[in-house]
Amino acid sequence: MSISRDDVLDWIQVTAGILKENRDYLIKLDAAIGDADHGANMDRGFKAVMGKLPELADKDIGTIFKTTGMTLLSTVGGAGGPLYGTLYLQMGMKSAGKMDLTLEDWIVALQAAVEGVVMRGKAELGDKTMVDALSPAVEALKEASSNGRSLSEALEYSAKAAEEGMTATIPWVAKKGRASYLGERSAGHQDPGATSSYLILQAAADTWKDC
């Protein structure tokens, strides 16, 4: 079973809807430990990506992800813009020319994407960032694959791991980004970027459940 080019377009569309629905929630999370713009940033970015979908209808998955990354880079702003831009650009590099993705392809793409985010933002696990949701999601995909799980099962496990990673950020003190300026006062709040990353990966698991 595999993820088709149309499935990828569906995922992006579903992601845009989910981020719109969660705009105020992400703003509230960022208001507690940042500057209250994360929800607006992500919603603005994915609205702009939605505007590009018509020109992507017949393109390969690499082009779809690369265009998504470039658009996020130029519209999201803040710390999230370059990091989410990198995430999708790297996914695009690994899926260049492809019209569908197997579980193995998706693992390669997401792993490179997360490595790109780590390289760019220099966050380690436990720094209370989006990496705390993204990295466990990649590990869960790899484990599911080596246990012979199906694509849809692996996606469910990876979304679950991202959710656990997101929740784990609550008691932590932020070591990167704006929240780190708060020091100990950042503890007790869920990281907004880890939350948007979880929402994006849960959207993948939901959209691709029949792939």
Which of 30-38, 89-97, 116-124, 125-133 is the region at the interface with Mg ion (rule: CB under 5 A)?
30-38
Q: Quick one: which segment of 9-17, 36-44, 64-72, 165-173 binds Mg ion (CB under 5 A)?
A: 36-44
Q: Is 121 in the site for ligand ADP (CB under 6 A)?
A: yes
If binding means CB under 6 A, how many residues of this protein chain bind ligand ADP? 23
Among 103, 176, 198, 201, indicate the residue that binds ligand ADP (CB under 6 A).
Answer: 176
Contact call for residue 156 and ligand ADP (CB under 6 A): no
- Of 62 and 121, nearer to ligand ADP (C-beta) is 121
Out of 11, 193, 205, 211, the only residue in the binding site for ligand ADP (CB under 6 A) is 193
**Interface with ligand ADP by CB under 6 A: which range of 16-24, 32-40, 60-68, 137-145?**
32-40
Label each residue of 124-155 as H, E or C. CCCCCCCHHHHHHHHHHHHHHHHCCCCHHHHH
Give the shortest CB-125-to-Mg ion separation in angstroms: 21
Per-residue binding letters, 40-59, with ligand ADP (x by CB under 6 A): -x------------------
Q: Which tokens belong to 124?
A: 């380690």
Q: Which residues of 121-155 are buried (b: 16+ CB within 10 A; e: fewer)?
A: bebeeebbbbbbbbbbbbbbbbebbeeebebebbb
Give the residue among 110, 109, 106, 132 at the shortest CA–CA distance from 121.
132
Q: Of these, 34, 69, 116, 165, which contacts Mg ion (CB under 5 A)?
A: 34
**Phi and psi dihedrals of 76, rounded to 5?**
-75, -40
Q: Does 113 bind ligand ADP (CB under 6 A)?
A: no
Question: What does the buried/exposed string (b/e) look like for 82-108 if buried means 16 or more CB atoms within 10 Å of the residue's CB?
Answer: bbbbbbbbbbbbbbeebebbebebbbe
- The CA radius of gyration of the chain, in Å to the nearest whole number, is 16
For Mg ion, the binding residues (CB under 5 A) are 30, 34-35, 37-38
